[in-house]
Amino acid sequence: MTATADSHATTSSNDADLEAVRAEIEGQVAGRTITRLFLDTVAEHGDHPAYSDKIGVTSEDGKGWRTLSWNEVAEAARHVGAALVEAGVQPGDHVAVMASNRIEHVLADIGSLHAGAVPMSIYNTLSPEQVAYVASHSEPTAVILEGTDQVARWAKALAEVASIRTVVVMEAGQAPADSRARSWSDLVTAGAAYDAEHPEAVDERVAATDLDSPATILYTSGTTGNPKGVVLTHHNVAFEVVGSMSKAQFEEENVFISYLPFAHIAERAFGMYIPWTEGGHIHLIGDPTMLLGALGEVHPTRFFGVPRVWEKIKTGVSAKLAAEQDPNAKAFVEQCMATGLEWVESQQLGGTTSPELQQRYEEADAGMLSILRALLGLDRLEWAGSAAAPMPLEVAKFFAGLGIRIYDIYGMTETCGAVTSGGPDDFRLGTVGRALPGIEVRIAEDGEILARGPVTTHGYFKAEEATAALKDADGWVHTGDIGEMDDDGFVKVVDRKKELIITSSGKNIAPSNIENYLKESPIIGHAMAVGDSKPYVVAVMTLDGEIAPLVAQRLGVEFTDLADLATKPQIRAMAQQAVDAANERLSRPEQVKAFELLGTEWTAESEELTPTLKLKRRVVNAKYSDVLDRLYG
């Protein structure tokens, strides 16, 4: 699996520059573990707000937040660390955490690091069988759970995994009848008392941690098979954070909304590791359905969303704009957004906006674009990013029309997050940017994206064979993604290598392109194209559970639920229009010849999606095999 010498050129300019950049970053992170970076940030930002969440909010409008300052976070995390030391957690032991995005989740993570342990955030959506597999494989010493749902998911593991000696439950009164169980409040109280008597205990653990120590193990959600535990060191994380921040060129205060699972590397970077390095005020949202409301309250300066989140926002805005009855008002909005897109496109690859275009943009911004951004809660936005799957170009252009540059990011858990990204003076729409400082990226002869650098994992936990398949002898991580690189070094992700459709006539087809076109219809929630070893491509689609009912009501269509709505002729006609519109943009072998509109929604809980809203194709193929058989009639 070694990369060939004649593979496409890396994005790094030359080895001398690469080594110089790496040396500069290494100088910044030398001796500074994530725990030490956190403590330095606490010393600088002290009384400033650090983390807020809505746990226990009782106000009628639901807009209350509970907030801890950086000093308060540090004190509580230290007490958690001291309690874990007292409970017998040893340096290098694993501490599993299953909870939503809330302050206690953050405290459990940084508290584990204070104890010299390795925190592992586990996806809330895993079944009891999957949890038992992860627990038996990773053998955590302590498990920290949110409430009854998480306790139920861990019941099998708690009964079977002998390594678990401490079980902590955050919600009061929800601990299981287990001699190992205690409440979160008891843990923190005990930790405070132990720390007062033995202040050296935590200090010694922090001092003994070095850059080669594991900072976390993340079990990939995966679309097939059992998850694998990716070991990321303090060095991996520190190098990633410094390189990412250099590329992003952050200037404004970090006001951020964290809503994706902390078991996902991107959310750990934005919601934990970057704030622990530079400070900021992070608003934690335990329920992603609260996101749009939180945007209106928080008005973040930075926002990260997987493509599906951006698509949902776009669909909502587009539906409201389409409902505008005044043709003059509609034309004005379209003109303003055309100017916004032109303005963003002029800045690609460090381009300069002409004075004439700048003036037109400022007029469009004052007249309409700033108003639209304010309505979305994005009026203070300094930086916007997307990752986990390729961002559809039309979605990126839509937000560019609002004056928002979304920097597409590419990476994976095994590379500690990003290896490529766009930045303020270094982006190109439709690409995932260029390599981050100190990172090498290349395209192999078969089109696979390869990456190498200090951010790549040393390997999977207790999985030597899988590690050997991941990294070759020269240190290149084989991502499993197919990509392209232009002459300027910008990378475009085509699709997953294993997910490319090869029809019975031998045509290679990227299903994500087809699916993105189909999802441009406001009524379509998700779509999956199928055609491997088949004579033609078919698709299964779901309705958008929020927008499709609104469209139906506006059309005067009566229905009882989504299953009923999917049978209505007017809605099926709109689905056909979505297919026809997509086919106009596709080559003949790529065109969808038949489709089925399902009356269900796909979610992580129903298992068609990963927790970061990526398709589990194997699951969809299995669950809807009868539908697919019928489409191929």
Q: Is residue 401 part of a domain?
A: no
* Amino acid, res. 175: A
468 within domain boundaries: no
The Cα–Cα gap between 153 and 168 comes to: 14
Nearest to 450 by CA among 421, 499, 414: 414
Strands (E), 444-579: 448-452, 459-460, 477-485, 491-496, 501-502, 508-509, 524-530, 537-543
Residues contacting residue 160 through CB under 8 Å, at least 6 positions apart? 132, 135, 136
The CATH number for 174's domain is 3.40.50.12780
Distance CA 184, CA 187 (A): 5
Alpha-carbon gap, residue 21 to 177, rounded angstroms: 54
What pLDDT, on a 0 to 100 scale, did the predictor assign at position 324?
83
Strands (E), 545-600: 592-598
Q: How far apart are CA 142 and CA 613, in angstroms?
A: 29
Q: How far apart are CA 139 and CA 473, in angstroms?
A: 30
- Cα distance between residue 574 and residue 554, in whole Å: 14
Starting from the edge strand earliest in sequence, which strands make up the sheet with 524-530, in order? 524-530, 537-543, 592-598
Question: Strand order of the sheet with strand 166-169?
Answer: 118-121, 94-98, 142-145, 166-169, 181-183
Q: Which residue ranges in the chain fall short of pLDDT 50?
A: 1-8, 12-14, 223
Give the helix/strand (H/E) hosting 308. helix 307-322
In-domain check, residue 56: no
Q: What is the pLDDT of residue 224?
A: 54
Question: How far is it, in rounded angstroms, from Cα 410 to Cα 387?
Answer: 6
Q: What's at 544, amino acid-wise?
A: D
The range of the structural domain enclosing residue 504 comes to 500-631
Q: How far apart are CA 247 and CA 250, in angstroms?
A: 8
Residue 383 is which amino acid?
W
Query: Which residues does 129 contact at the CB level (< 8 Å), separation at least 6?
Result: 156
How buried is 632 (Cβ within 10 angstroms: 0-12 exposed, 13-18 middle, 19+ buried)?
A: middle
Confidence (pLDDT) at 5: 36
Look at the chain and report how many structural domains it folds into: 2
130 inside domain: yes
Query: Does residue 402 lie within any of the structural domains?
Result: no
CB 81 within 8 A of CB 35: no
Instruction: Give the integer Cα–Cα distance in Å for 543 and 511.
Output: 19
Question: Look-up: residue for tokens 């269900």?
Answer: 600
Return the CA Rg of the chain: 25
pLDDT at 614: 84
- Is residue 514 within 8 A of residue 310, CB to CB? The reply is no
- In 531-605, at which residue ranges do the beta strands (DSSP E only) sit? 537-543, 592-598
- Paired tokens of 609: 């999606």
User: Does residue 22 sit within a domain?
Assistant: no
Q: What is the pLDDT of residue 221?
A: 65
pLDDT for the residue 59? 61
* 336 assigned to some structural domain: no
Element (H, E) at 340: helix 327-346
Determine, yes or no, domain membership for 131. yes
CA distance 477 to 481: 11
